[in-house]
């Protein structure tokens, strides 16, 4: 049987040392936010999607702020104390890379590259070839041009500041992303010189070296220009945000979701949808969110790290965070589910109701102006308007339990820890500090007083 070829270890080098002066911001360029995460985080996460690899991040401006922004990412941090060009940046990383590795060079300010594109690029790189990602632009100003010979073979890359008028007419440009064997990369980097208009060591110069050494430079032309969009100022950052939003909306539409306006849905994480899901305008999804079949999301909602069951409707202007919501529930409008709530089937949480760290049983409802914190609610419980679970004594949180079939009258204060028994009724306006027995009416009432000779105060003249 023929032996399978050995899989070379992959080393990903991410260049993230740029200052980003054009951002006009105190925040380092690679930490500028895209879809709620730093630009650099997007690139690192994409690299991890390539499978087993070592990720080297070359950082400079921003120093420890850059490292601190990605504390949980498994990367090798390499400081570039002086920014002398892209070639110099990669030179800082190669001592940490074994000669038998395949090296993939990425950029911390190019956040929209997809893993499938990079996988195709890696397939083009081998013992006698280099993979080079290029793109054709209608306006190539500012980019290094790809110079090919008469047979269409890549010969070199010429930076715009060093390009002739003829070369500047070329529309195919360099993205900077390439894949090459480490042993060759190391040798070519040692030959770099800074004899150019910027007095920098250009990584792009290794393309001409590869051609001279008879190593094929195999270009992969990016299908979508937005995928290789570099972010250097706030205008480009906004363009990248729009491109991200459009790509995520396209994914949702192809998955069968109905979007009232695809330009006004923001997915800042991952969103999985069932069949016949409907999403209205100005909705934001953060973290990992799952929507079951036939879920309806109204306008102006923010949903974070939550699982919403089949046939549930979220009405306008709701905020939902780290919640598990069962089927056929009705949430909102203007409801807030703070972290750690579990709602069973057919639960109703209405307008101006806030729920935190609570479990609510099937068919229970709280439709108006209520706070439920650290609460365990059984089945078919009705919580009247203006009810407050007084769960915090200034030092500790305590639990309020409402058993099956309980009815809580409007304006009730339930001072935890407290249990409302099954089928109990709490009279409106009550303040309870002791358990309410099952099946009974419990209420507190102060004597009602009317003063016939009382006069309302008036303003002094």
Catalytic residues: 368
Q: What residue ranges in 260-335 does DSSP mark as E strands?
A: 265-273, 278-279, 283-291, 296-297, 302-304, 307-308, 313-314, 319-321, 323-325, 330-331
Q: Find the Cα–Cα–Cα–Cα dihedral 26, 30, 33, 34, rounded to 10°.
A: 150
User: How many helices (H) does the chain have, and how many strands (E)?
Assistant: 8, 37
Burial of residue 236, with CB atoms counted within 10 A of its CB: 0-12 exposed, 13-18 middle, 19 or more buried: middle
Burial of residue 235, with CB atoms counted within 10 A of its CB: 0-12 exposed, 13-18 middle, 19 or more buried: exposed
Please state, in angstroms and rounded to a whole number, the distance separating the CA atoms of residues 180 and 158: 19
Please state, in angstroms and rounded to a whole number, the distance separating the CA atoms of residues 182 and 188: 10
Please state, in angstroms and rounded to a whole number, the distance separating the CA atoms of residues 180 and 177: 10
Pairing between β-strand 341-343 and β-strand 359-360 as defined by DSSP bridges:
parallel
Length of the chain: 461
Helix (H) or strand (E) holding 47: helix 39-48
Please state, in angstroms and rounded to a whole number, the distance separating the CA atoms of residues 311 and 294: 5
Q: What residue ranges in 410-457 does DSSP mark as E strands?
A: 413-415, 418-420, 425-426, 431-432, 441-442
Residue-wise DSSP of 78-111: EE-SS---HHHHHHHHGGGS-TT-EEEEEETT-T
Instruction: Quote the DSSP letter at residue 317.
Output: S
Q: Are 356 and 362 in contact (CB under 8 A)?
A: no
Burial of residue 121, with CB atoms counted within 10 A of its CB: 0-12 exposed, 13-18 middle, 19 or more buried: buried
Please state, in angstroms and rounded to a whole number, the distance separating the CA atoms of residues 137 and 344: 52
Residue-wise DSSP of 294-308: T-EE-TT-EEES-EE
Bridge partner residues of 320 (DSSP): 303, 337
**Which positions ≥6 away from 21 have C-beta within 8 Å?**
none
Phi, psi of 383 (to 5 degrees): -110, 115
Q: How many CA atoms lie within 13 A of 172 on its CB side?
A: 17
């Amino acid at each position: 049987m023929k032996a399978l070829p050995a899989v070379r270890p992959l080393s990903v080098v991410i260049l993230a040392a740029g200052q980003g002066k054009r951002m006009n911001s105190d925040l380092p360029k690679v930490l500028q936010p895209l879809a709620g995460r730093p630009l650099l985080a997007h690139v690192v996460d994409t690299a991890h999607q390539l499978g087993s690899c070592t990720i080297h991040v070359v950082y400079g401006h921003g120093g420890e702020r850059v490292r601190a922004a990605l504390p949980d990412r498994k990367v090798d941090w390499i400081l570039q104390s002086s920014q002398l060009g892209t070639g110099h940046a990669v030179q800082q990383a190669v001592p940490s890379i074994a000669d038998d590795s395949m090296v993939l060079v990425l950029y911390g300010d190019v956040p929209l590259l997809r893993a499938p594109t990079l996988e195709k690029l890696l397939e083009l790189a081998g013992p006698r070839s280099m993979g080079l990602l290029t793109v054709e632009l209608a306006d190539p100003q500012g980019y290094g041009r790809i110079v090919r010979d008469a047979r269409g073979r890549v010969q070199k890359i010429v930076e715009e500041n060093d390009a002739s008028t003829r070369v500047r007419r070329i529309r195919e440009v360099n993205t900077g992303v390439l894949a090459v064997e480490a042993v060759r990369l190391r040798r070519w980097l040692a030959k770099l010189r800074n004899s150019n208009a910027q007095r920098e060591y250009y990584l792009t110069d290794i393309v001409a070296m590869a051609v001279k050494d008879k190593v094929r430079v195999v270009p992969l032309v990016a299908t979508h220009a937005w995928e290789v969009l570099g972010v250097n100022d706030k205008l480009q950052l906004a363009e990248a945000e729009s491109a991200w939003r459009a790509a995520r909306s396209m994914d949702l539409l192809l998955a069968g979701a109905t979007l009232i306006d695809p330009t006004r849905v923001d997915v800042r994480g991952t969103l999985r949808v069932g069949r016949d899901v409907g999403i209205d305008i100005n909705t934001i999804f953060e973290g990992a969110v799952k929507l079951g079949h036939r879920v309806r999301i109204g306008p102006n909602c923010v949903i974070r790290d939550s699982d919403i069951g089949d046939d549930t409707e979220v009405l306008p202007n709701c905020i939902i965070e780290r919640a598990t919501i069962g089927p056929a529930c009705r949430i909102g409008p203007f409801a807030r589910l703070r972290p750690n709530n579990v709602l069973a089937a057919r639960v109703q949480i209405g307008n101006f109701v806030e729920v935190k760290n609570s479990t609510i049983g099937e068919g229970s409802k709280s439709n108006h102006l209520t706070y439920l914190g650290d609460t365990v609610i059984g089945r078919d419980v009705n919580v009247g308007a203006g009810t407050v679970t007084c769960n915090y004594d200034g030092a500790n949180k305590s639990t309020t339990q409402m058993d099956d079939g309980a009815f809580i009258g409007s304006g009730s204060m339930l001072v935890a820890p407290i249990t409302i028994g099954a089928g109990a009724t709490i009279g409106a306006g009550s303040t309870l500090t002791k358990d309410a027995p099952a099946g009974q009416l419990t209420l507190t009432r102060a004597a009602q007083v009317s003063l016939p000779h009382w006069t309302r105060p008036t303003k002094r003249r």
